[in-house]
Amino acid sequence: MMKHRRDRYYWRAKKEGYRSRAAYKLKQLNQRYGLIGVSDVVVDLGAAPGGWLQVAREFSGGLVIGVDLVNIQPIEGVLTLRGDIRREDVVEKLLSVTGGGVDVVLCDAAPNLSGNWSYDHARSIDLSTAAFRCAEDLLRGGGNFVVKVFQGDLFNDFYRRVKREFATTRIYSPPASRKQSAEVYIVGKCRLSVPFQIDDLFDVVIEGIGTSGDGIVRIDGFVVFVRGVEKDERVKIKISAINPRFAFAKVIG
């Protein structure tokens, strides 16, 4: 407890009525990345004791839902559910309540630490992966995702997996995180609603040349720009970057 008593965010949370010092992490994340907008539908996974729910409600003012394995004490204007985010019935309940139109999925959950770093890191990745799977089921196109992850040897693979789903992906450590902590937050902005992902491969015929000189091809109606090709040329391409309205690819053969 002495560590908490010396922490200015702990005392600030007490003074301002937040349930945890973690509330300021979400405030700082939102200030930097603009994650939660007015009237956004927000789902917070692993939400107890509710500090992030309080902040999400302040920013959104719309439907905010918290899920945790333990009961969350009531928060005005917030719906809480008790359940395991790994269970299909919990995801189905969230889909039913939100209609599948979630704007933001948050997860500040962490496993109970054992002191064995490799084990704790693996459990953190497992929990973050469960949150990401929920986000895949819940988020609308253009939606945002934030998840806490402990750094370690499994981090990069998880980060690349998240990166494939969003137009912009960042790693951030808010000032409110303790300096000795290995936690960081992966922020995914603008979920992509496209018929492919980064690194996907396609055999295509270049349909035309754009004003910039790049080749143009459409994959299920989605425009992809390819450099260094000619009209009617047949090539094998690899998707290298995706924006909400178009994508880029490289020729690999």
Which residue is catalytic, options 3, 14, 148, 238? 148
CA atoms within 13 Å, Cβ hemisphere of 37: 8
Q: In the numeric block, which tokens belong to residue 180?
A: 């000795």
Active-site residue flag, 148: yes
Distance CA 66, CA 80 (A): 5
Quick check: bond before 49 cis, omega within 30? yes
**Residue in this structure with the two tokens 């996907």, named with its chain if needed:** 200
- The sign of the dihedral angle between the CA atoms of 229, 234, 239, 243 is positive
3-class SS string, 167-181? EEEEEECCCCCCCCC
CA dihedral sign of residues 37, 25, 164, 211: positive
Task: Give the H/E segment covering residue 57.
Answer: helix 51-60
Q: In 33-45, which positions are buried (b, 16+ CB within 10 angstroms) versus exposed (e)?
A: bebbeeebbbbbb
Whole-number Cα distances in Å, 140 to 1, 2, 95, 135: 41, 43, 11, 9
Residues with a known catalytic role: 148
